[in-house]
């Protein structure tokens, strides 16, 4: 018998951001009803797993939580992240062929530095998984395809300079929806050029164009990248009934997408049509992963031919696909110094808004342009929350692929910035040795995150 | 005085309890007729007792298990209303099955109507094939039963004599395929069960016994022995439940232990966690299909005292079959019982023949008879220990859907290994040693299942789901669907309503004491928010009577826990 599809269903029936927030207890209630009533968990092709907790160290491997992990996450976050890691372990060990983490809270808007909640996310479940798989199982090349209606800006931010992570996000055009980013010119940093690809789709895009983007861009690029593992950030708010998005995808299209992409892991992200979309989309994704016929699953109000796309918009998407395909095909020939300049560091300034927590953050991000490795990354961040005293932090991150001289330099910078006493907190993330340090200015103390 | 009787496959055990002490017990070989075995065992224990002093009798029988295993029932036709979802190819139940159009969703709303002509055609087709028993099951019928009711009323119009069961009345949990199997089996077994009930009542009346009679269910709870209450298939696999409750009564309260019931060719394992028998998270399986019958988590290992032991090449193997009694008791081939005899761990059978059996296996390998015996014991012990460890891991890995459930997950290991059943004595010490636990062979271990029956009490639950936006509520166990009249129906109201239903069920099930302090096992509240305003709430409330047993054996006092 072929290997099974693992499912972790963690609806967090006792957790909400607030009683009326879209991220509330009710979100996966009808999904629970649908998959339990269908008896999906009893099918021989499906294996249900228990959720587990991620450790604080698993979080610090990916994020700089200000001031500490405990301030940014609840137990529900640790369970959502831990569940994704559990399925990752089971896929790598060969126990299951693929897995679906139907968990909340979601995470794809959470960036490397975390001052609070943005886009309903505090920590990035997929990014935590990637860093965990690298640390625990030595996996290097991973592709992440984000099918949420919102640009996966958190995931993009975390892997922007990582040549071994391919990040493709297709979503509703950022000019018309949160978070307002994800345009075709966001292509990754100097050391990871074209490893980030964004496909902003016009509102109203339906199944046919979705499949066009998939067949002509996503699938060929993923195949060419030759990842060891494919992850799908399975947001479901591209569905035609979603209250936040304006797209026209059906449950059937989500299933076809899953069947073609064959992700090793699908991780639920957004999707707030909790009655009209989620029960059906989640069901078809499970069935598609397990290679079970899903032709009989459909939304009660769906009739074929329900949505017509405008020819101009379709043509516009086709041109964009062609443009991005060229960028991908020619990425090795491009002179990145013409785009990013020359010098020891490449620097970019970012302004980040935390919609849930009303925080405004200014970042100055510097990546070391190194010929031997992707280079260490340092970020000076200044966050202002309403009229409270602002917080200034400085973070240094040493990637898994770092060369010894980058590692040394990064430690030197960390020590130097600590001495300057300019920042409230200084962080060092050394993924090579799995060591995570935090220095707090007001206490003059430094600590290492354990276990 | 309380009586417990367990009619098993090979023997029937009975006990008489008085003030928490075993006053009398008996074992008789089971005959083909369950009632005969039952009465024979009963006669033995009540010989010197006045029939008025018998307050209650609890039976555990293989009646339904056997009916199902031997398929001794009239065929049941299926009328299913699955609607969209999984491919209908999945619904294969080895009987004539008619799929009807129509669909209900998770909130109990009709999303596709029934088609009258289709219903009539299916009824006619079933009639043409001679069916008189029909199960009607719809997807989400537990959220709205109108489709099932409509189909059944049409059947009753055309064929008032047919026996019909509806999914929402038999199996209230969400799980359509399990509901189909449960409803089909309920339909299949109802009339034979009714016949059994009448025969037992008649037999007891003729002996002047007027105490209340209950039957044991797979979850270790009891239901009154009458034709109308309860669902017969809930009594399948009551045997392991009886043994487990028996152990619960014989060991100190609150311990974590594993119950090892070693029989002829199989060993049944069950867990008692902090004093409570562990329930299976899935329903009991029948013909490899899951039902919605709540059952204790029981694992069977295919080894026992009479298992055939053979040499295969250089290896000695314990096989999952029986060719007869052990060699030392005149049987044809070596068995684990012979190994126990050789090592002096038991005293039944002929010692010389036991040694001879070991030599048959060991001499070609150059092994002494005691070496062979030890090897066999190790094989049996290892097989059982492996399964026990697996059960604990499985329990730890049960899914959890709430933050608090994940946080309270714990690792437990048995403090005691309790042996019951004929073969337990010789093995239990070594099993316990491998698990780092204490071996226990309780007194009356051989009739633990009858004791378990005698001390069992009703385990009643009510799962209430109220949807204030749609203005209705359902009670899973009763297949009931009612209106919410109160416009401001709160969580407290939902809880009170659930407790009210629990009391109703309790009186129906003859629970002597009123339900004073029901346990609340689930209390989920879901705010329904549509377009940024709260439009209602869904309450998911579960209450149950305290689980337990009527008394611990040897403990002081009578009916205290119930």
> Can you give the pLDDT at residue B8?
85
In chain B, which residue's Cα lies nearest the Cα of A25?
B526
Percentage of chain B lying above the pLDDT 90 cut: 71
Q: List own/partner pairs for A415-424 with CB under 8 A and 24 or more apart.
A: A418/A446, A422/A392, A422/A394, A423/A380, A423/A392, A423/A393, A423/A394, A424/A67, A424/A391, A424/A392, A424/A393
State whether the Cα torsion A229-A235-A240-A245 is positive or negative: negative
Q: Identify whether the C-beta of residue A153 lies closer than 8 Å to the C-beta of residue A175.
A: no
- Kindly report the nearest CA distance between residue B261 and chain A, in angstroms: 28
Q: Identify whether the C-beta of residue B295 lies closer than 8 Å to the C-beta of residue B284.
A: yes
> Can you give the pLDDT at residue A450?
84
In chain A, which residue's Cα lies nearest the Cα of B85?
A297
Please state, as a whole number, how many other Cβ atoms lie within 10 Å of the Cβ of residue B18: 13
> Can you give the pLDDT at residue A410?
98
- A105 touching B, CB under 8 A? no
By DSSP bridging, strand A229-234 and strand A142-146 are parallel
* Residue among A26, A48, A49 minimizing CB distance to B528: A26
B354: helix, strand or coil: helix
More confident site: B422 or A108: A108
> Can you give the pLDDT at residue B488?
92
Residue B103 with chain A: CB contacts under 8 Å:
300
- Per-residue pLDDT for B556 more than 50? no
Beta carbons of B403 and A76 less than 8 Å apart:
yes
Q: Is A109 a catalytic residue?
A: yes
In chain A, which residue's Cα lies nearest the Cα of B531?
A243
Beta carbons of B84 and A298 less than 8 Å apart:
yes
* Residue among B84, B90, B401 minimizing CB distance to A9: B401
Tokens of B248: 């619960």
Residue B290 with chain A: CB contacts under 8 Å:
42
Q: Any bridge partners for residue B301, and if so which?
A: B267
Residue A32 with chain B: CB contacts under 8 Å:
401
d(CA B218, CA B234) in angstroms, rounded, equals: 6
Name which of A16, A32, A37, A294 to mutate to probe chain B: the one with the most chain B Cβ atoms within 10 A of its Cβ. A37
Query: What is the pLDDT confidence band of residue B555, given thresholds at 50, 70 and 90?
Result: low
pLDDT tens digits along B168-204: 999 999 999 999 999 999 999 998 999 999 999 999 9
d(CA B306, CA B291) in angstroms, rounded, equals: 31
Biggest CA-to-CA distance, chain B: 84
Residue B527 with chain A: CB contacts under 8 Å:
19-20, 24-26
d(CA B259, CA B268) in angstroms, rounded, equals: 8
Q: What is the DSSP string of A301-334?
A: T--TT-----HHHHHHHHHHHHHHHHHHHTTTTS
d(CA A87, CA A231) in angstroms, rounded, equals: 11
d(CA A291, CA A285) in angstroms, rounded, equals: 10
Query: What is the pLDDT confidence band of residue B229, given thresholds at 50, 70 and 90?
Result: low
Q: Which residues of chain A have pLDDT under 50?
A: none
The position carrying tokens 């886009």 is A119
Q: What is the DSSP string of B201-258?
A: HHHHHHTT--SEEEEE-TTS-EEESSSSSS-GGGGTTHHHHHHHHHHHHHS-TT--EE
The Cα-based distances of B81 to A282, B78, B92, B518 in angstroms read 22, 10, 14, 36
> Can you give the pLDDT at residue B558?
38
More confident site: B110 or B49: B110
B410: helix, strand or coil: coil
Beta carbons of A283 and B174 less than 8 Å apart:
no
Q: What is the DSSP string of B453-516?
A: HHHB----EEEEEEETTTTEEEEGGGTEEEE---TT--HHHHHHHHHHHHHHHHHHTT-SS---
Which of 236-295 (B) contact A at CB < 8 A? 282, 290
d(CA B324, CA B246) in angstroms, rounded, equals: 29
Instruction: Find the mean pLDDT for residues B212-219.
Output: 93
> Can you give the pLDDT at residue B513?
61
Q: Identify whether the C-beta of residue B95 lies closer than 8 Å to the C-beta of residue B180.
A: no
pLDDT mean across residues, chain B:
91
Beta carbons of B107 and A30 less than 8 Å apart:
yes
Tokens of A221: 């690029």
Domain A4-329 belongs to what architecture? 3-Layer(aba) Sandwich (3.40)
- A96 touching B, CB under 8 A? no
Q: Any bridge partners for residue B165, and if so which?
A: B135
Closest CA to A284 of A262, A305, A260, A253: A253
- B520 touching A, CB under 8 A? no
> Can you give the pLDDT at residue B550?
87
- Per-residue pLDDT for B460 more than 90? no
ipTM of this complex: 0.95
pLDDT tens digits along B42-99: 999 998 899 889 999 999 998 888 888 888 888 999 999 999 999 999 999 999 999 9
Instruction: Find the mean pLDDT for residues B125-138.
Output: 98
Residue A20 with chain B: CB contacts under 8 Å:
527, 529, 532-534
> Can you give the pLDDT at residue B438?
96
- Per-residue pLDDT for B560 more than 50? no
Name which of B401, B468, B531 to mutate to probe chain A: the one with the most chain A Cβ atoms within 10 A of its Cβ. B401
- Show the domains of chain B with their CATH numbers: 76-189 (3.40.50), 262-396 (no CATH), 461-544 (no CATH)
DSSP state of B369: H
- A20 touching B, CB under 8 A? yes
**Quick one: A202 exposed, middle or buried, by C-beta within 10 A (0-12, 13-18, 19+)?**
buried
Q: With residue A447 as reference, give the H or E element that holds it.
A: strand A445-448
The Cα-based distances of B65 to A24, B9, B60, B236 in angstroms read 45, 10, 11, 5
- Per-residue pLDDT for B13 more than 90? yes
- Kindly report the nearest CA distance between residue B172 and chain A, in angstroms: 11
pLDDT tens digits along B485-540: 988 999 999 999 999 999 998 888 877 565 677 889 899 999 999 988 899 999 99
Least confident of A35-39, B408-412, B439-443: B408-412
End-to-end CA distance of chain A: 38
Residue B111 with chain A: CB contacts under 8 Å:
300
d(CA B236, CA B247) in angstroms, rounded, equals: 20
Query: ω before B167 within 30° of 0 (cis)?
Result: no
Q: Identify whether the C-beta of residue B25 lies closer than 8 Å to the C-beta of residue B444.
A: yes
Query: What is the pLDDT confidence band of residue B562, given thresholds at 50, 70 and 90?
Result: very low
The single residue of A77, A108, A109, A115 carrying the catalytic annotation is A109
Closest CA to A357 of A121, A173, A133, A196: A121
- Kindly report the nearest CA distance between residue A386 and chain B, in angstroms: 25
Q: What is the DSSP string of A344-360?
A: SEEEEEEEEEETTTTEE
d(CA A448, CA A438) in angstroms, rounded, equals: 6
Residues 6+ positions from B420 with CB-CB distance below 8 Å: B243, B246, B247, B259, B260, B261, B442, B445, B446, B448, B449
d(CA B271, CA B257) in angstroms, rounded, equals: 6
- Kindly report the nearest CA distance between residue B540 and chain A, in angstroms: 11
Q: What is the number of helices (H) and of strands (E) in chain A?
A: 13, 17
- B352 touching A, CB under 8 A? no
Tokens of A292: 């079970």
Query: What is the pLDDT confidence band of residue B413, given thresholds at 50, 70 and 90?
Result: confident
- Per-residue pLDDT for B26 more than 90? yes
Q: What is the number of helices (H) and of strands (E) in chain B?
A: 14, 27
Domain regions of chain A by residue span: 4-329, 343-448
Closest CA to B131 of B188, B93, B180: B188
Query: What is the pLDDT confidence band of residue B557, given thresholds at 50, 70 and 90?
Result: very low
Beta carbons of B524 and A13 less than 8 Å apart:
yes
């Amino acid at each position: 018998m072929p290997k099974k599809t693992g499912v972790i269903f963690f609806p967090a029936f006792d957790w909400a951001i607030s009683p009326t927030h879209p991220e509330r207890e009710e979100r996966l209630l009808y999904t629970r009803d649908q998959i339990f009533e269908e008896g999906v968990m009893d099918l021989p092709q499906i294996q249900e797993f228990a959720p587990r907790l991620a450790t604080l160290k698993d979080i610090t491997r990916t994020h700089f939580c200000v001031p500490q992990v405990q301030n940014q996450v609840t137990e529900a976050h640790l369970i959502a992240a831990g569940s994704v890691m559990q399925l990752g372990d089971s896929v790598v060990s060969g126990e299951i062929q693929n897995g679906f983490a139907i968990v909340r809270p979601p995470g794809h808007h959470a960036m490397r530095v975390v001052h609070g909640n943005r886009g309903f996310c505090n920590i990035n479940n997929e990014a935590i998984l990637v860093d965990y798989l690298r640390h625990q199982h030595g996996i290097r090349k991973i592709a992440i395809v984000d099918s949420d209606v919102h640009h996966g800006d958190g995931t993009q931010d975390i892997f922007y300079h990582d040549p071994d992570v391919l990040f493709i996000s297709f979503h509703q055009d950022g000019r018309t929806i949160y978070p307002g980013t994800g345009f075709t010119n966001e292509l990754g940093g100097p050391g990871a050029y074209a490893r980030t690809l964004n496909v902003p789709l016009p509102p109203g895009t339906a199944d046919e164009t979705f499949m066009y983007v998939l067949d002509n861009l996503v699938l060929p690029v993923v195949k060419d990248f030759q990842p060891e593992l494919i992850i799908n950030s399975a947001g479901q708010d591209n569905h035609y009934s979603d209250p936040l998005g304006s797209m026209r995808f059906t449950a059937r299209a989500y299933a076809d997408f899953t069947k073609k992409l064959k992700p090793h892991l699908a991780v639920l992200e957004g999707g707030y049509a909790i009655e009209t979309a989620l029960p059906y989309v989640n069901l078809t994704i499970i069935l598609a992963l397990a290679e079970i016929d899903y032709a009989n699953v459909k939304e009660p109000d769906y009739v074929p031919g329900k949505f017509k796309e405008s020819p101009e918009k379709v043509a516009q998407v086709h041109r964009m696909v062609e443009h991005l395909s060229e960028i991908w095909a020619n990425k090795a020939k491009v002179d990145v110094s013409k785009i990013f300049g020359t010098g020891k560091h490449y620097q970019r300034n970012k302004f980040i808004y935390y919609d849930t927590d009303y925080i405004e953050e200014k970042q100055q991000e510097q990546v070391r342009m190194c010929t031997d490795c992707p280079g260490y990354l340092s970020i000076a961040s200044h966050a202002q929350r309403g009229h409270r005293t602002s917080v200034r932090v400085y973070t240094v991150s040493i990637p898994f692929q770092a060369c010894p001289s980058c590692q040394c330099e990064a430690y030197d910078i960390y020590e130097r910035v600590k001495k300057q006493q300019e920042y409230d907190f200084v962080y060092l993330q050394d993924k090579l040795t799995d060591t995570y340090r935090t220095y707090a200015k007001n206490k003059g103390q430094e600590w290492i995150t354990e276990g | 005085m309380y009586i417990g009787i367990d009619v098993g496959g090979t023997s029937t055990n009975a006990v008489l309890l008085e003030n928490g002490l075993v006053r009398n017990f008996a074992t008789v070989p089971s005959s083909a007729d369950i009632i005969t075995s039952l009465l024979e065992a009963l006669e033995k224990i009540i010989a010197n007792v006045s029939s008025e002093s018998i307050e209650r009798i609890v039976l555990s029988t293989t009646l339904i298990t056997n009916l199902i295993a031997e398929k001794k029932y009239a065929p049941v036709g299926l009328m299913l209303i699955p609607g969209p979802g999984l491919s209908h190819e999945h619904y294969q139940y080895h009987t004539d099955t008619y799929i009807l159009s129509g669909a209900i969703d998770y909130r109990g709303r009709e999303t596709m109507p029934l088609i009258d002509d289709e219903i009539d055609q299916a009824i006619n087709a079933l009639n043409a094939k001679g069916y008189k028993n029909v199960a009607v099951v719809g997807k989400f019928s537990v959220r709205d039963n109108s489709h099932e009711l409509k189909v059944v009323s049409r059947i009753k119009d055309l064929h008032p004599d047919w026996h019909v069961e509806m999914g929402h009345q038999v199996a209230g949990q969400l799980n359509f395929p399990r509901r189909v199997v449960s409803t089909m089996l309920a339909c299949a077994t109802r009339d034979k069960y009714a016949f059994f009930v009448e025969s037992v009542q008649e037999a007891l009346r003729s002996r002047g016994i007027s105490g209340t009679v209950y039957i044991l269910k797979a979850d270790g709870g009891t239901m009154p022995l009458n034709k109308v209450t309860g669902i017969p298939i809930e009594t399948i696999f009551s045997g392991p439940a009886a043994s487990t409750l028996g152990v619960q009564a014989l060991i100190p309260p609150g311990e974590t232990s594993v119950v090892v019931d070693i029989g002829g060719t199989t060993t049944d394992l069950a867990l008692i966690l902090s004093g409570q028998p562990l329930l299976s998270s899935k329903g009991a399986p029948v013909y490899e299909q899951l039902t919605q019958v709540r059952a204790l988590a029981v694992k069977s290992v295919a080894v026992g005292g009479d298992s055939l032991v053979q040499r295969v090449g250089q290896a000695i193997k314990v096989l999952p079959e029986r060719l007869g009694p052990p060699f030392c008791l005149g049987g044809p081939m070596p068995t684990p019982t012979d190994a126990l005899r050789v090592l002096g761990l038991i005293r039944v059978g002929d010692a010389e023949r036991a040694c001879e059996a070991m030599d048959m296996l060991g001499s070609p390998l150059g092994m002494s008879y005691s070496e062979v015996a030890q090897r066999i014991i190790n094989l049996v012990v290892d097989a059982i220990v492996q399964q026990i460890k697996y059960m604990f891991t499985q329990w730890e890995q049960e899914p959890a859907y709430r933050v608090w459930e994940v946080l309270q997950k714990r690792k437990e290991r048995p403090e005691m290994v309790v042996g019951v059943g004929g073969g337990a004595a010789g093995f239990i010490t070594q099993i316990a040693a491998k698990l780092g636990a204490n071996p226990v062979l309780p007194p009356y271990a051989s009739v633990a299942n009858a004791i378990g029956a005698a001390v069992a009490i009703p385990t009643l639950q009510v799962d209430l789901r109220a949807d204030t936006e749609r203005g209705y509520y359902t009670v899973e166990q009763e297949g009931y669907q009612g209106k919410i009249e109160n416009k401001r129906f709160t969580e407290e109201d939902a809880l009170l309503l659930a407790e009210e239903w629990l009391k109703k069920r309790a009186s129906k099930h003859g629970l002597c004491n009123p339900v004073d302090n029901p346990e609340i096992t689930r209390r989920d509240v879901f705010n329904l928010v549509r377009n940024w305003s709260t439009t209602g709430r869904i309450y998911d409330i579960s209450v149950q009577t305290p689980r337990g047993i009527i008394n611990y054996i040897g403990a002081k006092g009578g009916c205290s826990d119930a």
